[in-house]
Amino acid sequence: MRVPELLTVDRIACNAEAASKKRALEVLSGLIARTLGDGGAKGNPTPMEVFDSLMARERLGSTGVGHGVAIPHGRMKKGDRPVVAFARLKNGIDFDAVDREPVDLLVAMLVPESSTDDHLQLLAQLAEMFSRGEFRDSLRGAPDAESIYSVFQHWQTGH
C-alpha cells in the first residue's frame, strides 16, 4: 500500500486558512470525513471522530517533523481502509515542530485500529517523501489541488 493510492484530489486543501494547530486539524478532519461520506451513518467516522483521533495523537507529542511539515495521524474504530488528506496552509503556524519552524504542509493519515503494520509503513513513506526538499518545494509551488495531487502521484511512479 502506497500513500499516493490513499489520497484523492478532494482530500487536498490548497492555501487553507488556519491560525492554529487546532484549526489546521479541523480542516484536515473535515476533508477526511466529508470525502468518506455518510457522516458516520454507515460506519465512516464523523469530522469530530477524526479530529478526536488526530488530537489524541498530538497530546502524546507534536507530529511537526521539521522543514514546515507536520504528519498528524491516528487510528479509527470506524472504517476499513487507511485514508490520507493533505493541506497546504496559506501561512505557516506554530505546531510545536521539532525545529520550532512554522508548519505550512500537513498530511494527515487515519488507519483502522487493526492496521498496525500499514500504519508504520505509511508513516515511513511519508517521512521519506517529506524529508526531500524537492518534494516539499514542489508542493509549495503547486498552483492548485490537482497539481498537488500530481506531485504525490509522481512520487509513486518516480520512486
Question: Could you list the active site residues?
Answer: 73
CA 37 to each of CA 28, 50, 112: distance values in angstroms, whole numbers, following the listed order: 15, 13, 16
C-alpha cell at 86: 493533505
15: left (phi over 0), alpha (psi -120 to 50) or beta: left
Cβ–Cβ under 8 Å, residues 72 and 106: yes
Per the CB < 8 A criterion, the answer to whether 66 and 132 are in contact is: no
The candidate with the shortest Cα–Cα distance to 51, out of 73, 36, 35, is: 73
All three cell numbers of 104, joined, read 505550512
Rounded (10°) CA dihedral 43, 11, 87, 80: 30
